[in-house]
Amino acid sequence: MAKRILKKQGTIGILILLCLSVIFTIIDKESIFDTLSKEISGKVIKIYDGDTITLLHDNKRLKIRLYGIDAPESNQNYGRESQENLLNLCPLDSQATLKIKDKDKYGRIVAIVLCNDINVNAEQVKNGYAWAYREYSNAYTHLEIKARVEKKGLWRQKNPVKPSEFRKNLIRDKVL
């Protein structure tokens, strides 16, 4: 009888430990998400293209995708100009503040980037160096419309191709 009680208590104890470990795992994941929803600052150490940078924060390299915009690919029309404009807005070794929104499927942090208190995401669209990425946000749609009307940047082209279409065409051409 005593063995049954001890066995029952042991089973209950194991179940309690399992429940606690699940709870602490959930809490830990939520605290990571809370960190992602905050602002962080760091030094700009690389500009990949018109919508991706690397930031050094607490001695960690963080790859950042600019939220709500889609800039031309490096090998696409206006790709180099878009990258240069972003470099002018966020020079290497300058300080940047991130308003973190999410993480993308490639593990990059998706954020609004502020350099010299300027929202560079908005500036890229406003100056015609990126599309408003409507699939994820409408925050910059009005800036894209204005840039189109004023024929700024890539909107000087007769038929600019969205980066998402450009990427699809590259994949299709490689298959053929």
Which residues are known to be catalytic?
65, 73, 108
Query: Under a CB-based contact definition with an 8 Å cutoff, are residues 90 and 115 in contact?
Result: yes
Nearest to 143 by CA among 164, 162, 121: 121
77 and 59 Cβ atoms separated by less than 8 Å: no
Q: Give every CB contact of residue 3 below 8 A, 6+ residues apart in sequence.
A: none
DSSP conformational letter for 156: G
Question: What percent helix, strand, coil does the chain show, rounded to 5?
Answer: 45, 25, 30
Neighbouring residues of 85: CB distance < 8 A, sequence distance ≥ 6: 50, 123, 124, 127, 129, 153
Contact 96, 127 (CB under 8 A): no
The residue count of the chain comes to 176
Q: What is the CA radius of gyration of the chain?
A: 23
